[in-house]
Amino acid sequence: MTELSRVEDQVREEIGVRLFTVLAWLPRRRVLRRVYSSHPGQYPVGGEKSVEVAEGWLAQCIEGQRPYLGADRAAVREVFADHRLISALGCGAVINVPVVEEGSTLGALAILDAEGSYDEESVAAAVEAAPLAVPALRAVLREAGEL
């Protein structure tokens, strides 16, 4: 998905990123399906997350359409069951940004780097990048019968 690699390039240039994934939200099944990954060996495309993500995170990012900033390892550990793998990749900070079109959440960007790498300014830049993922996520959701 070349569109999503362009999103990764922009995020890398404007914010900085060590691990970047794009997740499509499949509301009928209440799962997030990975549709793009900078680390396909550890985070393969097609992988799904459901119960591994804290309910509060889903309420904030997917249902509430508000970005999530986990600025340190403790915040990452609190939300993500795969925090050990995240840490092994040298990541201790995360920004998750919902990708929204016409009031519907299509998915989310997952942007991770070393602990302390991100702040509110980083979140604002990530929010600006999120709409670039709309066409690719719309296509994935249409193919999955979710649109």
Q: What percent of the chain has pLDDT over 90?
A: 80
What is residue 102's predicted lDDT score, i.e. its pLDDT?
95
Give the burial string for 56-79 (b: 16+ CB within 10 Å, else e).
ebbebbbeeeebbbbbebebbeeb
d(C-alpha 8, C-alpha 129), whole Å: 9
31-37: strand order across its sheet: 48-49, 31-37, 19-26, 104-113, 93-101, 68-70
Q: Looking at 80-117, list the stretches that DSSP marks H as alpha helix, in order from N- to C-terminal side.
A: 83-88
Bridge partners (DSSP) of residue 97 are 109
What is residue 66's predicted lDDT score, i.e. its pLDDT?
97
Q: Of 64-73, 76-85, 137-146, where does the model show the most confidence?
A: 64-73
With 80 as the cut, is the pLDDT of residue 141 above it? yes
What is residue 50's predicted lDDT score, i.e. its pLDDT?
74
Question: 29 or 122: which carries more pLDDT confidence?
Answer: 122
Are residues 140 and 35 in contact, defined by beta-carbon separation less than 8 angstroms? yes
Q: Kindly report, residue by residue over 97-133, the tens digit of the pLDDT.
A: 999 999 999 999 999 999 999 999 999 999 999 999 9
Largest CA distance in the chain: 39
Q: How is 121-134 classified by DSSP, letter by letter?
A: HHHHHHHHHGGGGH
| Averaged pLDDT of the chain | 93
